[in-house]
Each structure stands twice: as structure tokens, then as C-alpha cells.
Amino acid sequence: MQQRIRLILILLSVQLPLLTTAQGLMDGFMKGDRKASLAVTYSQETYDTYYRGTTPFRDPNLGTVTTQAINLYGVYGLGYDLDLIVSAPYIRTEASAGYQPKQEGFQDVTAALRWEAFDYKFGNSRLSWLFALGYTMPIQNYVNDNILALGQGSKNIDGRTMLHYKSGGFFLTGQAGYIRRGPVTLDRIVNVYDPSQVNPNSGMKVNVPDVTEFIVRTGYATKRVYVDVWGQQQTPYAAGTDIGPGIPFPTNAIGFRRVGGTLFLRLVGRLGLNFGYSTTLEGQNIGKSTRLSGGIIIGN
């Protein structure tokens, strides 16, 4: 009986991959004054192995976790050197084994401003230095402390800087960011966890660890074709817990290293299709997931 209870508690401590952070929200390409684009994409992410701390673990009572998402992503040029970016995903997640009911609904809305602060031109090449500031908050009050939670439920501030180099069709972008995550109120009462993670403002609130993020992206871009490959490293900055019995989901320190690629083809006029692939190379308190995506992009 005790083993069964322990198994259930472990299952309740698995952290989902967060789709909205896949490959980052921003690239180094400015939209331009009063130009806009809207993307509607579908993605599917699966894993049957997850990391307890940094140790890979597979559990037959969990099976394969599948997360499907429809994401709306829009960019509008407020000026020559200032863009507004908005993203909002609708997510459904479920496990192939166990008894946890699937979760479905809107996750978090993100709004960000991207500013091209400096622009250096030399010959046919161009080097840009950009800054971005974003804010994320849940669209609805979804369950945040469950095996199939749609997200962490925290309100986040995302600050980052980017260097973007382009010569002809070739480009190379590097960015570094810091994501400050606010505390969340748990959906259940837990009796065993690290006391240092409890937020002092309320006994029902816990801290969500902040993270740092580094992304490198390179590829080839023209008006009709865009292709890239990228690598993403997210590392817990603040102290957090590891997956274990009685540990709340939001307090887990989450990190990962992912690689992936994107292909965009313009079909006709302002209409194009995009495809994406990514996989997790290593992680910390997260699923070892593989993601496929595809969508329609309309705009400049």
C-alpha cells in the first residue's frame, strides 16, 4: 500500500514541458513600420521519459504524455525600430496510462516589445543590437499543480538582449535572457516540501524559480524561403526543488537543452507555410520531449 501511495505521489510530481518557451518568443528580424504578420500553428509534443532532477526516468504507469497546442502569434511594427509581439496558445495534454484526466484550455498570453537600439551597416552586411521586454500571465485560472497542468500559472517578466548579423541571405542571431517568475497559489495542500520554497507572503503560495536563457540561431532568409537551425539552453537561476513525492510542481527547478529547426515557404502573395521540429537533448525536472509543428503565416 505504501509503495502504491509513493508511486501516485511521484506521478503527481512530473513537470510538463512548456510549449510557449520552445525556441524562444523572439528572433532578430524586425517587422518594420506598420507591417504585420499573423501565424496560426499546430504543434504536438510527446515524451515517455522525464528527468527526476537530471536523471532520466521512464514510468509505465505514466506511459506517453502528449501535448497538442494551437498557437496564435502576431507581430506588428509600431515603428521602424519597435515591434509589438503577442502570443496565446490553446493546449490539450493527456497521458496514455494512469488515471489523470486530460487538461485542456488556454494557457498564458504573452505581450512583448522588441526594440532595435543600434544598427550598423558595412558593405552588404548588417549588425543589429536589440532589446526586448515581455510580460506573461495566465488567460484563465487553470490547475497549475497537476501531472497534466497546462502551465505553471505564474506571471512572468522576460528581459533579453540580442545580436543579429545578416549578410546576403545568411544570418546569425544570439540572445540572452532572464525570466523573473512570480509566486503562485497551489491547487492542493502539500505536507512535504522544501520550506525555503514557501513564499513568506502566504502559506498557500510558493515561489517559482527564475531562469536564464541563451539561444543561438542561424540560417538563410529571403522573401520566399526561410530556414534555420537553433539551440536553446534554459538554466534555473533561483533555487528550486526536484521531482519527488509531495513536491509541488511549480517549485521544481526546470532546465533543458534543446535543438531544432524551422522551414518557411511563401506560397503566394502574403500567404506562407511553416514547419518546425525540436528535440530535448538533456533536462532537469522536465520531459525528454520531441516536438513537431506546422502552420499558416499571413502578412509581410
**CA nearest 297: which of 260, 252, 259, 263?**
263
Strands (E), 58-155: 65-79, 82-95, 103-106, 108-122, 125-138
List CB contacts of 18: < 8 A, sequence separation 6 or more.
151, 152, 254
pLDDT digits (tens, 9 = 90+) for 73-109: 999 999 999 999 999 999 999 999 987 788 899 999 9
| pLDDT of 246 strictly over 70 | yes
Which pLDDT belongs to residue 300? 76
Out of 12-21, 159-168, 221-230, least confident range: 12-21
Distance from chain centroid for Cα 97: 25
Which pLDDT belongs to residue 46? 95
pLDDT-based confidence at residue 186 (cuts at 50, 70, 90): confident
Phi and psi based region of residue 171 (left: phi greater than 0; alpha: psi -120 to 50; beta: remaining): beta
Measured on CA atoms in the order 162, 164, 170, 172, is the torsion positive or negative? Answer: negative
Which pLDDT belongs to residue 67? 95
pTM of the model: 0.86
Which pLDDT belongs to residue 126? 95
pLDDT-based confidence at residue 30 (cuts at 50, 70, 90): very high
Which pLDDT belongs to residue 11? 38
Query: Is residue 5 helix, strand or coil?
Result: helix
| pLDDT of 168 strictly over 90 | yes
Q: What helix, strand, coil percent values describe the chain, rounded to 5?
A: 5, 60, 35
Phi, psi of 19, rounded to the nearest 5 degrees: -65, -35
| pLDDT of 255 strictly over 60 | yes
> d(Cα 243, Cα 239) in Å, to the nearest integer?
14
Task: State the burial class of residue 154 (Cβ atoms within 10 Å of its Cβ: 0-12, 13-18, 19+).
Answer: buried
35-299 is a CATH 2.40.160.40 domain? yes
> d(Cα 83, Cα 94) in Å, to the nearest integer?
35
pLDDT-based confidence at residue 203 (cuts at 50, 70, 90): low
Which pLDDT belongs to residue 6? 44
Which pLDDT belongs to residue 239? 84
| pLDDT of 202 strictly over 90 | no
**Which residue shows C-alpha cell 505564474?**
154
Q: Residue 210 corresponds to which cell in the numbers above? A: 527564475
Q: What are the residue boundaries of the structural domains of the chain, listed by start?
A: 35-299
Q: What is the residue-averaged pLDDT of the chain?
A: 87
Q: Which amino acid is at 246?
A: G
Which pLDDT belongs to residue 13? 37
Q: Residue 56 corresponds to which cell in the numbers above? A: 532520466
Average pLDDT of span 245-256 = 88
**Whether the Cβ atoms of residue 285 and residue 51 lie closer than 8 Å to each other:** yes
Looking at the DSSP assignment, which residues form a beta bridge with residue 82? 79, 115
pLDDT digits (tens, 9 = 90+) for 274-293: 999 999 999 999 999 999 99
**CA nearest 176: which of 214, 210, 211?**
214
Q: Residue 163 corresponds to which cell in the numbers above? A: 545580436
**CA nearest 18: which of 41, 1, 43, 38?**
43
